[in-house]
Amino acid sequence: MSHGQIHAWNILDRKPVLAKWEEGLFTEITPTDEPPAEAKWIGPPLLDLQVNGFAGIDFQQDDISEADLLHAVEQLAQACCDQILFTLVTDDWEAMTRRLARARQLRDAHPALGRAIAGWHIEGPFLSAETGYCGAHPADKMLRPTPERVAELRELAGDDPLLLTMAPEVNGGLKGFATARELGIRVSIGHTNAPGHILRRVTAAGPAGFTHLGNGCPATLDRADNILWRALDTPGLTCGLIPDRWHVSPALFRLIHRLVDPDSIYYTTDAMAAAGAPPGKYRLGQLELEVGPEQIVRLPGTPNLAGSALTPIEGVRRAADMLDCDWQDVWPKFSRAPARFMGLEEGFSVGAAANFALIETDTANRIVSHSLRTLH
C-alpha cells in the first residue's frame, strides 16, 4: 500500500503519533493528544551492522545464491530488522574479495536485496594474530592492511557504505586506517591488543568504532591493564555491543552504559547462520560450530564463542532486561545509533521511506508481537 496512515504510540518519545505516507514516503509524523485505542507502537526498523549469516545461511561461502540471501533478509525482517551490513570475516584474501564481489552482484540485481543490504562490513584479515585476540579468526590468514588491499575493498564495494574492522597495532595498521578514511570507508577497531596511545592516535584522526567491545580478546585479562580498560579510556570511540548476555555479561553491559556516552553505543547481533534457526551444527566459513538449546555459539570442544545466534528483536529484549529498563529505551541503540554511525538514513522521519516497526505490548509493557511494515 503506497499511501495510508496509522495512529499509534511513538517508540522514540512514547507519545501518541499520527503517521501518514504517500507513494512510499512519510509525509507527516504528527504528535496528537488522543491516545491510540490499542497498545501499538511504531518506530524506525532495526539496523544490524554485523551479520555474518542468518536463518541457516552462511554468508562466508563462494556459491551463495540469490535465494539464500532472500531467505536470510526475509527472516531478518521477521525480527524487525530492515537493513544490515553484509559481513565477511577473515579468510584467504582471494576468497574474501571474490565473495564480496559476488554478494554485491546479487544485491544489485534484486530490489529486495538492494533495500535490505545497506552496505558491507569487512572484519579481517587486518586483525591481531595474537592468541585470544584473533578470536575465531584464523591467525595464519592475517595480512597487512596495505593501501592496495584497502583500495581493492573500496573498488569492490563501489559507492556503498563500507565498514572495515582492523587492529591498529599490526604492521601498517595506522596507515591502513588513514588510507581507509581517505577512501570514505568507516573504520572500527577490533580484535586488537593495541596500547592506549595507539588507540588515541586512531580516534584523534577522526571518528572510529570499536567492534563488539568486550570480545575479540582472551577470556582472562590483566586486571590492571587490558584492552577493555584501554578502550573505555579512549575518547571518541563508538562502541558496538552484542546484547545476548553471553558476549558481554550483564554486569559489564551495565558498566559500559554508565561509562560511555549514550550516543556512542550501538547494538549488533554479530549473527551467524544459527541465528533465527534451531539448535544444531552450522558453518561460519571454514568452521563448523555447535549451537545448543541455550543458543550459544561455540567452537566445538571449547568454551570459545564464535558469532551469535541472537536475532535483532531478541537483542532489544535482552538489552532492556540487563539494564532493567523499558524496551523503548534501548530501541534507538539498535536502529538510529548504528544508522548515525554509518551515515545512513535514520528512518521514521518526514521524507524518509515509510518503513516502520510495529510492536504490540501487554499491560506490563512486554513485547507480545512484532512485525516490520515495508511500503516500498
**Mean pLDDT, the chain, as a whole number?**
94
What tens digit of pLDDT does each residue of 129-144 get?
Answer: 999 999 889 999 999 9
Same domain, 166 and 22: no
**109 belongs to a structural domain:** yes
In a domain, 349, yes or no: no
Same structural domain, 19 and 60: no
Residues 6+ apart with CB under 8 A from 3: 21, 22, 23
pLDDT for 349 equals 92
CA proximity to 19, closest of 39, 44, 37, 38: 44
pLDDT band of residue 261 (cuts 50, 70, 90) is very high
- For residue 291, what pLDDT band results from cuts at 50, 70 and 90? confident
Same domain membership, residue 38 and residue 150: no
- Say if CB 137 and CB 88 are below 8 A apart: no
* CA–CA dist 208, 202 (Å, integer): 7
Asked if residue 282 has pLDDT above 80, the reply is no
Lowest mean pLDDT among 69-78, 106-115, 285-294, 327-336: 285-294
Q: Are 304 and 298 in contact (CB under 8 A)?
A: yes
Q: Specify the pLDDT at position 376.
A: 59
| DSSP 8-state secondary structure symbol assigned to residue 170 | S
Question: In this structure, are 100 and 205 located in the same domain?
Answer: yes
What DSSP line would sit under 221-234, residue for residue? --SSS-HHHHHHTS
Is the full-model pTM beyond 0.85? yes
Q: Which helix (H) or strand (E) holds 26?
A: strand 25-31
Q: Is the pLDDT of residue 271 over 80?
A: yes
Q: Do 14 and 32 belong to one domain?
A: yes
Q: Which of 373, 375, 376, 374 is nearest to 41 (CA)?
A: 373
- In this prediction, residues 330-351 reach a mean pLDDT of 96
14 belongs to a structural domain: yes
342-356 average pLDDT score: 93
Task: Tell me the CATH number at 164.
Answer: 3.20.20.140
Is there a domain that residue 63 lies in? yes
Q: Containing H/E element for 297? A: strand 297-298
Q: Note whether 27 and 53 are same-domain residues.
A: no
16 with 55, same domain: the answer is no
Specify whether the CB–CB gap between 181 and 205 falls below 8 A.
yes
Inside any domain, residue 183: yes
Residue 76 — very low, low, confident or very high, per pLDDT cuts 50/70/90? Answer: very high
Sorting pLDDT into bands at 50, 70 and 90, what band is 371?
very high
Q: What is the pLDDT of residues 210-238, one digit of tens each?
A: 999 999 999 899 999 999 999 999 999 99
pLDDT of residue 303: 66
What letter represents residue 236's amino acid?
G
The three-class DSSP label of residue 117 is strand
Residues 22 and 102 in one domain: no
* Structural domain of 251: 45-342
List pLDDT tens digits, range 181-196: 999 999 999 999 999 9
Question: Which residue spans within 99-227 are E strands per DSSP?
Answer: 117-123, 162-166, 186-189, 208-210
Q: What is the pLDDT of residue 374?
A: 84
The confidence score (pLDDT) of residue 272 equals: 87
Please compute the mean of the pLDDT values over residues 284-294 and round it to a whole number: 72
pLDDT band at residue 120 using 50, 70 and 90 as cut-offs? very high
Number of domains the chain contains? 2
Q: Give the model's pLDDT for residue 342.
A: 98
Residue 365 lies in a domain: yes
Residue 319's pLDDT band, with cuts at 50, 70 and 90, is very high
201 and 134 inside one domain? yes
Let me know whether 168 and 36 are in one domain.
no
350 within domain boundaries: no
Q: Which amino acid is at 265?
A: I
Whether the pLDDT of residue 148 is over 70: the answer is yes
Asked if 179 contacts 203 with a C-beta cutoff of 8 angstroms, the reply is no
**Predicted pLDDT of residue 273:** 86
| 189, 335: one domain | yes
Is 348 inside a domain boundary? no
- pLDDT recorded at residue 286: 73
**Does residue 1 have a pLDDT over 70?**
no
Q: Looking at the structure, tell me whether residues 36 and 52 fall in a common domain.
A: no
**pLDDT over 60 (residue 4):** yes
On the question of pLDDT at 285 being above 60, the answer is yes
CB atoms within 10 A of CB 244: 26
- Which 8-state DSSP code applies to residue 352? S
**Per-residue pLDDT band at 280 (split at 50, 70, 90):** confident
**Is pLDDT at 300 greater than 70 in this prediction?**
no
Q: Residue 302: pLDDT band by 50, 70, 90 thresholds?
A: low
